[in-house]
Amino acid sequence: MKNCIIASTSTLHGGEYLEYLLPELSLHFKDCKEILFIPFSRPSGITHDEYTAKAALAFAKINKTIKGLHEFENPVEAIQKAEGIFTGGGNTFLLVSQLYKNKVMDVLAETVKAGTPYLGTSAGSNICGLTMQTTNDMPIVYPPSFQTLGLIPFNLNAHYLDPDTQSKHMGETRETRIKEFHTFNSLPVLGLREGSWLDVKGDSIILKGDLSARVFKQNQQPEEVASGTNLSDLK
């Protein structure tokens, strides 16, 4: 049975890394002593070692140890044997490219679907959808496919921002970009605001956090869904 926390972000404004999620993570990973960390997305270009050390500092607060996937000679076996798995945020194009390069996209999906506890933040959440095509990230590398883990039956837009009517910025809003996606794709998209996450248990997908989320469907007006809503029927 799938057991996932899929969070829009790792860090809330003014808080420390994963701080707001630690009470949830303590329960989520309660049966895990060591968590496998996938550092491939490298936010701001930091190294795999630097990113793994950052995750280790946060998880030490709930008495969990972290080991990076890049430290293993056999990444497929490392994922299959993991007690729990965390994929951090950063650049989704880079993350997806590396998952395919290391031949672990399929095994990661299979392992999490079989019940290994999973945490994703930002890019690590984007890959939980059917494709990565609704990421906000720059295409700094070219992945062999946009297809991702398919842990949920829709796509995500993490860090979703509402249009600011007072802003003089003339660039595209997130809503505009999602409409562009729906010109060519029929998959629903969930705009997940900062501090919100999805709690996935089997087929149940519950929106958690203090804020609502925004649902986008092809050829339909966007819809707000309240925290506590079960999104398992969003397909």
The model's pLDDT over 134-173, given as tens digits with 9 standing for 90+, comes to 999 999 999 999 999 999 999 999 999 987 767 666 567 8
Sheet strand arrangement including 189-192: 155-158, 189-192, 213-216, 223-225
pTM reported for the whole predicted model: 0.95
Is position 204 within any domain? Answer: yes
pLDDT score recorded for residue 171? 61
pLDDT score recorded for residue 169? 64
pLDDT score recorded for residue 168? 64
Mean pLDDT of the chain: 96
Nearest to 100 by CA among 55, 149, 51, 52: 149
For residue 133, is pLDDT > 80?
yes
pLDDT score recorded for residue 166? 72
Question: What is the domain range of residue 79?
Answer: 3-225
Is position 35 within any domain? Answer: yes
The model's pLDDT over 23-77, given as tens digits with 9 standing for 90+, comes to 999 999 999 999 999 999 999 999 999 999 999 999 999 999 999 999 999 999 9
pLDDT score recorded for residue 163? 76
223-225 and 213-216 strand pairing: antiparallel
* 110-115 mean pLDDT: 98
Paired tokens of 35: 């968590």
Q: In angstroms, rounded to a whole number, what is the distance separating the alpha carbons of residues 67 and 39?
A: 10
Sheet strand arrangement including 34-38: 65-68, 34-38, 85-87, 118-121, 3-7, 197-201, 204-208
Is position 235 within any domain? Answer: no
Paired tokens of 164: 């600011």
Is position 234 within any domain? Answer: no
For residue 129, is pLDDT > 90?
yes
Residue type, 31: D
Is position 152 within any domain? Answer: yes
Is position 232 within any domain? Answer: no
Q: Tally the domains of the chain.
A: 1
pLDDT score recorded for residue 165? 67
pLDDT band at 13 (very low <50, low <70, confident <90, very high): confident
Q: What CATH number corresponds to the domain at position 42?
A: 3.40.50.880
Paired tokens of 25: 């993570």
* 74-96 mean pLDDT: 98
Is position 163 within any domain? Answer: yes
Is position 30 within any domain? Answer: yes
Give the catalytic positions in this structure: 122, 137, 159
